[in-house]
Every structure is written in structure tokens, then in C-alpha cells.
Amino acid sequence: MLRTRSLGVVAAVVALASGCGSSGPAKGTTPKDHVRGDAQVLSVAYPKDWQAGPDQSVALSRQAPDRTAFLEVVKDVSTTATADQLSSLAEMGPQLQTKGYRRTDEKKIDVAGAKAAERLDFTFDGFAGTANAPGQGVFVAVLGGDRHAHLVRITFQRGKLSDGALTDIVSSIKVGS
């Protein structure tokens, strides 16, 4: 009986260590019904019905067809970054550019091919130039090779981008093409 119980525990540990039972998509992969956008230094997948976004000054800009969600990649926000600086780099943008900025979460995440990555979740007021529509955002600061830091910005009108779609986008980020 003890041997059977021990084998069950070993099987559970092996399953967890190999990633079985993980609920999210594999890091750096392209989910079903998504396409991968190449921003030269990193790539990210987004829903295939999204179209070119309004900001052509960034490495990659895409938007949902109804303009309730935006994805942008800014490359080389720093060329001498360290993992300890990623949090500050991620927070700098929304603090300066959004009305009523409120950080809701911040954590280190794994990004395929990155030396380090930090995710910042936040809410704000006045989504996409509206007067009062509540907005939500996720900024992911990524440390690539040669100490270059890049930023993936996802902003959306609150309630208009599902948690699953947001998870798919964030999980798809990959340093390199």
C-alpha cells in the first residue's frame, strides 16, 4: 500500500514538473486563430482579425476591428537595462500617459527567449480618447540580449478583451522572430 501511494506521489510530481496540467498556452507559441507579428527584436501573436494600428512610429501596432483593443511593441526603450529596472520601465508609460492610472498587479513572468520579463496590469480613465470609458492595460517589459529592453503594450476598453485573449497575447511573446 505504501509503495502504491509513493508511486502516485512520484507520478504527480513528474506531471507537474513536465508542465502537464498547466492551463495556459505554451510560452512563445502562436495560439489558434492568431497570427504572429514580427517587431524585429521580438514577436507576439494577436487575433487574426486585428488590423494595422494607428501608431506607425512603433515597431508593431495592431488594433481590434472595433478599436476597443490595441497592441503595440516599442523596441529598445533602453539599451543598458537590467532585470531590476524592468518594473520602472513598464510603469513609466502608463503613469505619464493615462488619466486616473491605478496599478492593479505587477509580477515577474517567463517570456520565451528573454533574460527577464516583468508584467504590469493597470486601469485608467478615458480609454482611446473617450471622456469616461474605463480602460485597462497590460505592459510587459522584456529584457533581451545585450541589455536591450523592449515593451509590449496592450490597452483595451474594460470588458472588451477577454481574459483568455489577453493570456494568449501575453503568453505568445517571444524574443527573436
Residue 159 to residues 4, 14, 31, 130: CA-CA distances in angstroms?
A: 48, 38, 21, 15
For the chain, list the domains and their CATH numbers: 28-175 (3.40.1000.10)
Residue matched to cell numbers 545585450: 146
Q: What is the mean pLDDT of the chain?
A: 83
Parallel/antiparallel/unpaired status of strands 99-108 and 116-125: antiparallel
Q: Look up the pTM and report it.
A: 0.81
Per-residue pLDDT, 80: 87
Per-residue pLDDT, 98: 72
| Pairwise CA distance, residues 35 & 150, whole Å | 20
- Whether 13 has a pLDDT exceeding 50, the answer reads no
> What digits encode the pLDDT tens for the residues 97-147?
677 888 899 999 999 999 999 999 999 888 876 777 899 999 999 999 888
Indicate the pLDDT class of residue 88, thresholds 50, 70 and 90. confident
Per-residue pLDDT, 95: 61
Between residues 90 and 72, the one the model is more confident about: 72
The arithmetic mean of pLDDT across residues 44-64, rounded, is: 95
Strand partners, 155: 70, 137
Question: Interior CA angle at 43 toward 42 and 48, to 5°?
Answer: 165
List helix spans (H) across the chain.
2-17, 86-97, 163-172
